[in-house]
Amino acid sequence: MKNLILIFTLVFINFSLIAQDVNSKKLKITAGWYWPDELKEVSNKVAFAKSLGFNAMIWCSGTQDKEFINACKKNSILPFKIMEPLSKKYGTRLQVLTHEEKTIDQKHTLHQYGGEPAKGKQDILSKKLLCPTDDKIIKNVNDEVKRIIKLGYKGICWDFIGYRNLKSCHCMTCTDKIKLLSKDKPINLAAFYESQLIELYNRLETEIKNIDKKIISACHIHPTYLPNPFYASKIKIDHCAVTCSWFFLPHWKKSKINNHIETTTSFSSGIPMIAYYQSGPMSSHTKSKKQIDFEFKILHKYKKKGLMICELGSIYGQDHLIKKIQKLLK
């Protein structure tokens, strides 16, 4: 019995130390969803994240929560749960596209799946999303948050809060609001749609901290908001990951990556998100060693600000990338 007590005490202390580190803006977090055979077991997934130097991991699966949380305790990693507040299950009012937007190819050759579109391209996210003003979102999300916290998760990571066309929604609620606000004078539409995203994030932050003030909040700004990709600086959240180098071809140039990392790390909650598909079903988008090298050269200048890297499963077996990550996170 004494041994058991000692083990649980050590786990508690480790979690406390990690939480202190995370709350001092040094979140080193990863997520994965394409798992090679060697990482089929939950314990292997978490152990791999630990071996790379991460102090937190996002669980994207809808099952095996207990196995994941236990593996995180064993490896002294903070368990985060992914949540998508604009998912259809949390409300009823879907975003509406214009007739022209509905005709755009949603999966063309250079489609970026919610990331910044390739030059000369216009992207529409095929995933259906709720309008951020849907009044059912907060209550339904709160119910899920309570369940997640009860399971033992230490953090929540918001994802897919944005617009399918990366800039606006044309549902009747948004249309009526614009008509009302522009009755006397024209309004700034970009600022209007941005404010709806900020308001939702801030309401979510208030609500989850009222449920449990110790819960750690994080997000990945996705899909991007084209009028202002860095609106994240205006939201209330513990850790906000902004894409600074995306998964898909054409891969970002050095100047763009540098600008995005520099801007993201300039606000207190900002952490760079770097994306890799080095193997698995999306391996046609593999980044070259040269691309990886200059990404990490830039990241080293801002390593004290924290980091998010995806996709963990496709990093497995990629020795060059693994060494780069371990050196950065040590």
CA distance 292 to 49: 19
3-state secondary structure of 250: coil
Q: How many helices (H) and strands (E) does the chain have?
A: 11, 8
Picking from 240, 215, 218, 214, the residue whose alpha carbon sits closest to that of residue 229 is 240
Alpha carbon 166 to chain centroid, angstroms:
16
Counting other chains too, the contacts that 208-211 makes at CB distance below 8 Å and 24 or more residues apart are 208/142, 208/145, 208/156, 211/142, 211/145, 211/146, 211/149
Q: In this structure, which amino acid lies at residue 141?
A: V
pLDDT of residue 148: 97
CA distance 273 to 307: 6
Q: What average pLDDT is seen over the chain? A: 92
Per-residue pLDDT in tens (0 to 9) along the chain, 330 residues: 434 333 333 333 355 555 656 654 589 999 999 999 999 999 999 999 999 999 999 999 999 999 999 999 999 999 999 999 999 999 999 999 999 999 988 878 889 999 999 988 999 999 999 999 999 999 999 999 999 999 999 999 999 999 999 999 999 999 999 999 999 999 999 999 999 999 999 999 999 999 999 999 999 999 999 999 999 999 999 999 999 999 999 999 999 999 999 999 999 999 999 999 999 999 999 999 999 999 999 999 998 889 999 999 999 999 999 999 999 998
Please identify which residue in the block is written with the tokens 């709806």: 196
pLDDT of residue 15: 54
Picking from 146, 151, 150, the residue whose alpha carbon sits closest to that of residue 66 is 151
pLDDT of residue 81: 98
CA distance 304 to 328: 10
Homologous superfamily of the 2-329 domain (CATH):
Glycosidases (3.20.20.80)
What are 218's strand-pairing partners? 157, 239
pLDDT of residue 13: 36
What letter does residue 117 receive in the DSSP assignment? P
The runs of H, that is alpha helices, within the chain are 2-23, 42-52, 65-74, 99-102, 137-151, 172-181, 189-211, 254-264, 289-299, 312-315, 319-329
Contact 228, 194 (CB under 8 A): yes
Phi and psi of 164, rounded to 5°?
-60, -35
Instruction: Give the sign of the dihedral formed by CA 296, CA 302, CA 304, CA 308.
Output: negative
SS (HEC) of 79-94:
EEEEECCCCHHHCCCE
pLDDT tens string 25-53 = 589 999 999 999 999 999 999 999 999 99
Q: What does the domain layout of the chain look like in residue ranges?
A: 2-329
pTM for the whole structure: 0.92
3-state secondary structure of 244: strand
CA distance 224 to 242: 9
